[in-house]
Amino acid sequence: MDLDQSSFSAFNGGSRENGPRPEDTCQSGARTVEVGSTSPASYTEPVVFSGGSGYCAEHESELDSFCSSDQKLVCSHCAIVGSCHGHAVTPLAQRVTAVRNQMVDACEKMQLQALRIERFISQTLTAKERALQAEASKAREQVLAQVSTVREALEEEEQRLLEEVQKEEERVEECLLMQRAHWNQALTNLSQIRSHLVHTLTHTPDAQLVNAIQEINERVEEAEGVGEPYDTDQLNLNPGCSDSKLLKGLWASAILLGPSAYGSAGLKFDENTVSPLLSLSEDLCTLTFIPKKARKSPPYNPSRFDCWPNALGLLSVSSGTYSWVIDVGKSAAFKVGVCYASVVRKGSGNESRLGYNNQSWVLSLYDGDFCFCHAGKKIPLQVLRRPRSIGLLLDWPTHTLIFYDPESTAVLYSITHPFSAPLLPACAVADHSVTIRH
């Protein structure tokens, strides 16, 4: 192995069997670098010193030069008249000095890198570890504090609602007892009156019976005064006794954000229902209001709304829990909600106008006002921030419909209604467009 190859072998981690091993320093002229004093691992790489370099077999001269072109040791004759004539040839001592300087530079860089690593371990990582412990402790305290606040609020709300239900149950039970006592007494009176009349009818001679007509009429009038029994709402438990905005909001958030979140990823609009006042995108997800001049008459379809800008979704809900989101964007006039499949599709009457019949339930924005509409009745909604989208949560087991803001999961409005048939998503738009978000 020639000297230059030995130098690079040593630089790259190789070993030279008979080469000298410096114990503390590498020297090159006046340059000295300490090795292994600050590095995490002791530096034991061999360092090449000048020594016998051998002879050129062709010219029988000492190999005192280095050919950079051929990367080998040569003699001075090789550089002048030999195979390396015209090549980049430098004296061996100069080449060895360059290699030594390169090794010293590498050792200096490694020493500085080792210092930086030690400083990173002792300062940065230690500080990060202390900061991690402090931040994790703070995060745990925050979680516990928030959960504790929610738990306390829920416990108080639970107690309040249970008391309300208990009061309502006691009220209805008292009404039932009073009704039962009243009608039992009425039944007894009727039975006594009837028995008296039957006895009079069967045991009174005709002459006396004619003279007893006034008494008979009084008895009949008394019986008629008992009246007919009828059911009232006072005999039913008021479902509002268990209503809680806090509980309903948390319940909706748990369904929407919990590990078993519900959704309708494949929901699209039914093109057969789309009004001629609207256009439907190719992906069947966007409804756009069409200016009057640009409208075209689509083919007749019994399922199509022909006068109001309505459309229904391809989802029939009669069990389970579903949620979907409608992006309303800049639309200033829209309705989102649900309806029965039997809703009227033809004509300009309220029967086919979403929210104006007893077969549809919608949240509406018109003229800057939000409201909930059903059967022609409007309930104004106080919305602090105009939502860019409206979410709907339909829980069939509890017959609950919730309108919410997807960004904050704040409940905008909720109803509980004994739905009697499958429900379909329903939309109307009279400005810009609305889109089903997936």
* pLDDT tens digits for range 89-129: 889 888 888 889 999 999 999 999 999 999 999 999 999 99
Query: Which of 58-62, 163-167, 319-323 tops mean pLDDT?
Result: 163-167
Model confidence at 15: pLDDT above 90: no
**DSSP code per residue over 285-317:** -EEEEPPGGG---PPP-TTS-SSS-EEEBS--B
Q: What is the CATH number of domain 3-127?
A: 3.30.160.60
Cα within 13 Å of Cα(334), Cβ side: 27
| 389 vs 49, residue with greater confidence | 389
Please report the sign of the dihedral spanned by the C-alpha atoms of residue 31, residue 34, residue 39, residue 45.
positive
> How confident is the model over 354-366, as pLDDT tens digits?
999 999 999 999 9
**What would the two tokens of residue 342 be?**
């039997």
Residue 38: predicted pLDDT: 40
Residue 252: predicted pLDDT: 78
Q: What is the largest CA-CA distance in the chain?
A: 173
Nearest of 377, 376, 338, 392 to residue 360 by alpha carbon: 338
Residue 207: predicted pLDDT: 81
**DSSP code per residue over 120-188:** IIIIIIHHHHHHHHHHHHHHHHHHHHHHHHHHHHHHHHHHHHHHHHHHHHHHHHHHHHHHHHHHHHHHH
Per-residue confidence band for 327, with pLDDT thresholds at 50, 70 and 90: very high
User: Which fold would CATH assign to domain 261-437?
Assistant: Jelly Rolls (2.60.120)
Residue 199: predicted pLDDT: 87
Per-residue confidence band for 52, with pLDDT thresholds at 50, 70 and 90: low
Per-residue confidence band for 68, with pLDDT thresholds at 50, 70 and 90: confident
> How confident is the model over 213-246, as pLDDT tens digits?
888 888 888 888 888 888 988 899 898 888 888 8
Q: Is the pTM of this model over 0.85?
A: no
Calculate the CA dihedral of residues 291, 292, 293, 297 and round it to 10 degrees: 110
C-alpha 245 chain-centroid distance: 21
Amino acid (1-letter code) at residue 86:
G
Nearest of 405, 372, 415 to residue 243 by alpha carbon: 415
* CB-count exposure of residue 337 (10 Å: 0-12, 13-18, 19+): buried
Amino acid (1-letter code) at residue 100:
R
Please check whether residue 369 is in contact with residue 380, taking contact to mean a CB–CB distance below 8 angstroms. Answer: yes
Q: What is the DSSP letter of 210?
A: H
Residues 6+ apart with CB under 8 A from 111: 33, 34, 35, 37, 38, 39
The region of weakest confidence among 75-79, 112-116, 125-129, 288-292 is: 75-79
